[in-house]
Amino acid sequence: MSAIREAIREQPRGRLIVVEGIDGSGKSTQLHLLDKWLRHLGVLVFNTEWNSSDVVKEITSKGKKKGLLTPTTFSLLHATDFADRYERNVVPLLRAGYFVLADRYVYTAYARDAVRGCNPRWVRRVYSFAVRPDAAFYYHVPVEVAVKRILTGRPKLKYYEAGMDLNLANDEYESYRIFQSRIIEEYKSMAATEGFRVMDGSLDIELQQAQMRRQVMELLPPAAAAVAAKELAPA
Amino acid sequence: MIRSGKAMGPRALTFYGDGIPSLKGREIKGRLIVIEGSDGSGRSTQVDLIMAKLESEGHAVATTGLKRSELIGKGILTAKQKLPLGKKTLTLFYAADFADQLEHKIIPALEAGYIVLADRYIYTLIARSTVRGTSRKWSNDLFGFTMKPDLVFYLDVDPGELFHRVFQKYAGLDYYESGADLGLSDDLYDSFVIYQRMMAKEFKAMEKKYGLVPIDANRPVAEVNADLQGRIDRFLHDGV
């Protein structure tokens, strides 16, 4: 028994790396590239994405279709989704030494739910069980840039995605623009207190990735860090 | 004969904690009365009896319970069957179900002047979550979005007595209601009794914070009903 406990204790703790930013900020691309790099270095990696748990998917889509969702139920369903991924994957994998890469984390809830009109303090309390990430990268882009990336080709925006439930504008593209800019304001207001690593999402993808990798290097286990240091030698 | 006493005037919605910002300042004309208690405590029977009495007096009455929301309802059961859910996940799921009923059913009915009889409210959810090891503070904070009822009764039944009632009614024990997921004992009777004691302890702990009134429900149905109805009548007519 004590040998088992010993082995568990010696297992190095994993790391939680989070990307945040509005749609079209390029955060998912950056996280994807980081994932490839970490795997190349031999690091154990697990990816988890906002609103992706099977448990609530059907209910959320039913609620959206029928227009039943209020800011409170919308918030609680996202929290349920988060808790499911958190309890099932994030916690055990961090314990097992994985690098957990989260495409959106609690900050997405803080930002969106606040814009939708939930009590910001309540939202933070609901998510109070979530561990602080080792690094939270916030990809900042001007709203016009992000909106242009998303709206190129004039895709059909979904009702809630466009923030139409907020009655910001009659036109869904205009509503989307206002909704996204409000979310940016929320991100900005929490950047300092939450310790965001603010990244310039309008730079070249390669340059952004190099900056991200340099910051993540401090978090790597020694063996992986040594390999990375050689490969990332400043040009 | 409609006897609406002084307790039936309009009142402002009040919340336990942070509340729901869009509902702040709303006025309700009806009243919210909650009956809490374990399965087999006689809850649903009492809700039916009270409803019949209040309706006979001319009050509009609506009932509500857990897992009955249009949005989620049976979705929780489906999800539970698919794969075991974590304790926080389950608590949040029930909270979402409850929020849907609160916003779409309970509050609109209260605004329209209904007396809403809730067959369970948030206290069962908090107790279940707490005995499974989540933080009491977290649950209290989470359910801070809910409105304060006017009256909350807790039907208190001795676990041994409860066991007989449940067995007679369902010819078996519910997996979760006997705490079988907690690994308390290999013996299901022991597990049931221990689990119900743990739940009773949580309800006891909530009495002060949430204003729960314990009702001795070991007594016959009619006796329990007379006790409850007496208290409800006093509240509706005299506001106490």
Q: Is A27:A136 a contact under the CB 8 Å cutoff?
A: no
Mean pLDDT value across residues A167-186: 93
Determine the pLDDT at residue B99: 95
Minimal Cα distance from A121: which residue of B?
A: B18
Partners of B117 in the β-ladder? B33, B63
Window 119-148 of B: residues touching A by CB (8 A cutoff) are 135, 138, 141-142, 144-145
Evaluate if residue B46 carries a pLDDT over 60. Answer: yes
Which candidate, B44, B145, B34, B152, places its Cα nearest to that of B95?
A: B145
| Interchain CB distance below 8 Å, B96 and A128 | no
How does residue A8 score in pLDDT terms, banded at 50, 70 and 90?
Answer: low
Q: How many CB pairs under 8 A join A and B?
A: 92
**A89 vs B: CB within 8 A:** no
CATH number at residue B43: 3.40.50.300
- Mean pLDDT, chain A, whole residue set: 91
Residue B31 banded pLDDT, cuts 50, 70, 90: very high
The full set of domain ranges for chain A reads: 13-217
Q: Is B82 on the interface with A (CB under 8 A)?
A: yes
Q: Which of B19, B75, B104 sits opposite A58 (nearest CB)?
A: B75
What share of chain B has pLDDT > 70, as a percent?
97
A132-161 average pLDDT score: 88
How far apart (Å, rounded) are the C-alpha atoms in residues B188 and B186?
A: 6
Residue of A nearest to B97 (CA): A73
Domain count, chain B: 1
Identify the weakest region by mean pLDDT among A6-10, A67-71, B52-56.
Answer: A6-10
Residue B194 falls inside a structural domain: no
If one compares A122 and A59, the residue with the highest pLDDT of the two is A122
Give me the pLDDT at residue B1, please. Answer: 45
- Measured CA to CA, the distance from residue B239 to residue B7 in angstroms comes to 4
B218-234 per-position pLDDT tens digit: 999 999 999 999 999 99
If you average pLDDT over residues A181-210, what whole number do you get? Answer: 97
Taking the C-alpha atoms of residue A73 and residue A82, their distance in angstroms, rounded to an integer, is: 14
**Least confident piece of the model among A167-181, B3-17, B112-126:** B3-17
pLDDT (mean) for A120-130: 98
**Cβ partners under 8 Å of residue B222, min gap 6:** none
Share of chain B above pLDDT 90, in %: 76
The answer to whether the beta carbons of residues B111 and B30 sit under 8 Å apart is yes
CA B3 to chain CA centroid, Å, is 26
pLDDT recorded at residue A193 = 97
* Nearest chain A Cα distance for residue B56, angstroms: 34
Contact call for residues B37 and B159 (beta carbons, < 8 A):
no
Q: Please, what is the angle between helix A54-66 and helix B87-101, to 10°?
A: 10
Give chain A positions within 8 Å (CB) of B26: none
- What's the whole-number mean pLDDT along residues A67-92? 94
Detail the DSSP E strand segments found in A23-142.
Answer: 45-49, 99-103, 135-140
pLDDT at residue B94 is higher than 70:
yes
Name the residue facing A84 among B86, B144, B145 (closest C-beta): B86
pLDDT computed for residue B171 by the predictor = 82
Length of chain B: 240
Percent of residues, chain A, with pLDDT higher than 70: 94
Distance to chain B for A208, nearest Cα, Å:
35
| Region B97-122 average pLDDT | 96
> Quick one: pLDDT at residue B163?
93
Residues B143-158: tens digit of each pLDDT: 999 999 999 999 999 9
- Work out the minimum CA distance from A179 to partner chain B, whole angstroms: 18
Report yes or no: B172 at the A interface, CB cutoff 8 Å: no
* Span A3-17, average pLDDT: 77
Q: Is the pLDDT of residue B74 over 80?
A: no
Flag whether pLDDT at B58 surpasses 60.
Answer: yes
Mean pLDDT is lowest, of A13-27, A147-161, B31-45, for: A147-161
Reported as half-sphere exposure (CB side, CA atoms, 13 A), residue A119 has a value of 19
At residue A155 the predicted structure's pLDDT band, cuts being 50, 70 and 90, is: confident
Please check whether residue B60 lies inside any domain of the structure. Answer: yes
- pLDDT for A57 equals 83
Compute and round to an integer the Cα radius of gyration of chain A. 19
Residue B210 has a pLDDT of 95
Chain A contact for B94 (CB, 8 A cutoff): no
Domain carrying residue B111: 20-155
Identify all chain A residues contacting B146, using CB atoms and an 8 Å cutoff: none
Q: How confident is the model at residue B6 (pLDDT cuts 50, 70, 90)?
A: low
A59 interface with B at CB cutoff 8 Å? yes
Q: How many CB atoms lie within 10 A of CB B104?
A: 16
pLDDT (0 to 100) of residue A218 = 94
pLDDT of residue A54 exceeding 80: yes
Which segment, A42-51, B67-76, B169-178, is predicted with the most confidence on average?
A: A42-51
pLDDT for B65 beyond 50: yes
A149 burial type by CB count under 10 A (0-12 exposed, 13-18 middle, 19+ buried): middle
Of B77-81, B125-129, B186-190, which one has max mean pLDDT?
B125-129
Average pLDDT rounded to a whole number, residues A9-36 = 92
**What is the per-residue pLDDT for A7?**
65
Tell me if residue A232 falls in helix, strand or coil: coil
**For residues B21-35, average pLDDT:** 95
Q: Is A137's pLDDT higher than 60? A: yes
List of residues 6+ apart from B216 with CB closer than 8 A: B156, B224, B227
- In the CATH scheme, what architecture does the domain A13-217 have? 3-Layer(aba) Sandwich (3.40)
B18 inside 8 A of chain A by CB: yes
